[in-house]
Copies of this chain bind each other. A is one copy, B any other.
């Protein structure tokens, strides 16, 4: 599933520039920041190309995406501390008992500032989807 990555790709100067930029950057750039940076080298590159390559690189696992977004937000009226399990198959969000990550003193010491909050999210396949999958596999 993830090994035949060389399925069909061409290394273009645009893609290479994006890869280089990401390899060098420590700032977790947005698409726009990548666009701005790469444009210094390739003034004619288009934003669409940046997005297409980011999609491609994320799909290949060469780059990680850190979603922060505002789109597709979900809202939770339950204010009691609890964690969430996200089904990667159907998108459902399940409440699970509060998970309190215990931060080691060493880890705390490595924080680049004052820690106010932490959140552990869980990802997987929910029971419903597992059941459906079983049918597929049979």
Chain A residues near B (Cβ < 8 Å): 19, 22-31, 34, 54, 58, 61-79, 84-88, 92-97, 99, 101-103, 107, 110-130
Q: How far is the CA of A26 from the CA of B67 in the complex (A)?
A: 23
Total copies of the chain: 2
Q: Which of B23, B30, B95, B121 contacts A26 (CB 8 A)?
A: B95
Q: How far is the CA of A58 from the CA of B75 in the complex (A)?
A: 9
Enumerate chain B residues within 8 angstroms of A69, measured Cβ to Cβ.
67-73
Contact A73 B125 (CB under 8 A): no
Contact B73 A67 (CB under 8 A): yes
With CB as the reference atom, state the residue of chain B lying closest to A94.
Answer: B112
Q: Which of B27, B71, B119 contacts A71 (CB 8 A)?
A: B71
Enumerate chain B residues within 8 angstroms of A68, measured Cβ to Cβ.
67, 69, 71-74, 86
